[in-house]
Amino acid sequence: MSPQETSRTSGGGGSRFTGALTPGRIGTAALAVVTVVLNLQNIREATVRPLVPEVSMPLRPALLATALIGAACGCCVAARRQK
């Protein structure tokens, strides 16, 4: 039997999910969990100063907006690395 015909789990003992658990994916999942926990714990009103105006708003939308901006920046950096 040639190497192409052997199954992934024969001889290696690994599962088909072994390749899916990369350090980057584990780190991203841990960061997502921390973001959700922080968002759920911070429900107080806060004063946010985006650029010039001062806005009083719950902390949840501010944290969510910051997380989305950070994720967008991370995606842009990752896309530039692949080119």
Task: Tell me the pLDDT band of 50, cut-offs 50, 70 and 90.
Answer: confident
Q: Is the pLDDT of residue 28 over 60?
A: yes
Task: Tell me the pLDDT band of 12, cut-offs 50, 70 and 90.
Answer: low
Averaged pLDDT, 42-71: 85
Identify whether 14 is part of a domain.
no
Distance CA 45, CA 56 (A): 7
Identify whether 5 is part of a domain.
no
Report the number of distinct structural domains present in the chain. 1
Identify whether 70 is part of a domain.
yes
Q: For the chain, what is the total number of helices (H) and then of strands (E)?
A: 2, 2
Identify whether 75 is part of a domain.
yes
Domain that holds residue 40: 23-82
Identify whether 73 is part of a domain.
yes
Task: Tell me the pLDDT band of 44, cut-offs 50, 70 and 90.
Answer: confident
Identify whether 16 is part of a domain.
no
**pTM, 2 dp:** 0.55
Report the pLDDT value the prediction gives residue 62, as an integer from 0 to 100: 84
Identify whether 3 is part of a domain.
no
